[in-house]
């Protein structure tokens, strides 16, 4: 078992003929992901890395039965690409593109809700179920199959923490990089619920960051609904108030969204918060009784 993707997932790549789309299609193919098609308007009938290219998502879905799309198209067109995939009946859209205009994402969010389409991203590294399916730009070599789920707002921290888990013989069930944009798809609570119901996941690592109140909401959800242990880390613990820290959501304003508030909320929910990423494997092992 896993959440969202597995060896049977059929993936199409929107923007497959672009530099990034083509490069990462080959990497996903190498990992064993079932890439069944690509989208590039005007280039239907060609191939990229042995993958057939279609002019539209609708054509690709009808021809291949694809149920997941990963998006590498430029930011000005990413919102339309998300909506096209949703209207074509794709169940899950993974948008890697960064810099997607907020108003485009707000418009796309309404279409996704209307059609019941799930979204990861935008501005995210993607997700992976180790040894089964990789969708996005995650470095495959650091992942190991196991029973620890991971959710992260930070792409680079995802890699660092996963590498530490793997080096400490803590394999992963599914790892999801959700991105840090202010308007995005599936977030902490959605994924925590999935992990709670996933027989392959015995513990969860949650990597948050300053700004917003998503972590506080997640802490309340964990306290009220989770039976599986959760370990957290908050990036930006030393950031000064009012200082923009990279991600659109990572800003402290009017005294809210601070690391202290998030750490306190997790503490009240019984979730240990690592002071630095290197502590996470030890905390996970303690929670699992290893």
Residue 256 bridge partners (DSSP): 253
24 among known catalytic residues? no
C-alpha pair distances (Å), 128 with each of 3, 43, 59, 204, 225 = 9, 29, 26, 15, 25
Q: Rounded to an integer, what distance in angstroms lies between the CA atom of residue 85 and that of residue 154?
A: 25
Q: Which of 10, 247, 262, 287 is catalytic?
A: 247
Neighbours of 44 (CB within 10 A): 15
For the chain, state the CA radius of gyration: 19
Active site residues: 247
């Amino acid at each position: 078992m896993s959440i969202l993707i597995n060896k049977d997932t059929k993936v199409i790549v929107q923007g497959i003929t672009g530099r990034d789309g083509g490069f990462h299609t080959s990497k996903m193919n190498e990992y064993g992901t079932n890439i069944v098609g690509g989208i590039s308007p005007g280039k239907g009938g060609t191939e990229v890395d042995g993958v057939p290219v279609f002019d539209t998502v609708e054509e690709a879905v009808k021809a291949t039965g694809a149920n997941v799309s990963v998006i590498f198209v430029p930011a000005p067109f990413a919102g339309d690409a998300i909506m096209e995939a949703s209207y074509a009946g794709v169940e899950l859209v993974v948008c890697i593109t960064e810099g997607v205009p907020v108003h485009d994402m707000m418009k796309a969010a309404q279409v996704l809700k209307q059609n019941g389409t799930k979204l990861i991203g935008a501005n995210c590294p993607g997700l992976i179920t180790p040894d089964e399916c990789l969708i996005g730009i995650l470095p495959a070599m650091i992942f190991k199959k196991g029973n620890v789920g991971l959710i992260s707002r930070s792409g680079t921290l995802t890699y660092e923490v996963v590498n530490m888990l793997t080096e400490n013989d803590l394999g992963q069930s599914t790892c999801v990089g959700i991105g840090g944009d202010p308007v995005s798809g599936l977030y902490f609570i959605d994924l925590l619920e999935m992990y709670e119901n996933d027989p392959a996941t015995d513990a969860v690592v949650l990597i948050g960051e300053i700004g917003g109140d998503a972590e506080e909401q997640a802490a309340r959800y964990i306290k009220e609904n989770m039976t599986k242990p959760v370990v957290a880390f908050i990036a930006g613990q030393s950031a000064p108030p009012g200082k923009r820290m990279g991600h659109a959501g990572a800003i402290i304003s009017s005294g809210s969204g601070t690391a202290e508030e998030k750490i306190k909320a997790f503490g009240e929910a019984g979730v240990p918060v690592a002071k630095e990423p290197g502590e996470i494997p030890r905390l996970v092992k303690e929670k699992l009784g290893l």
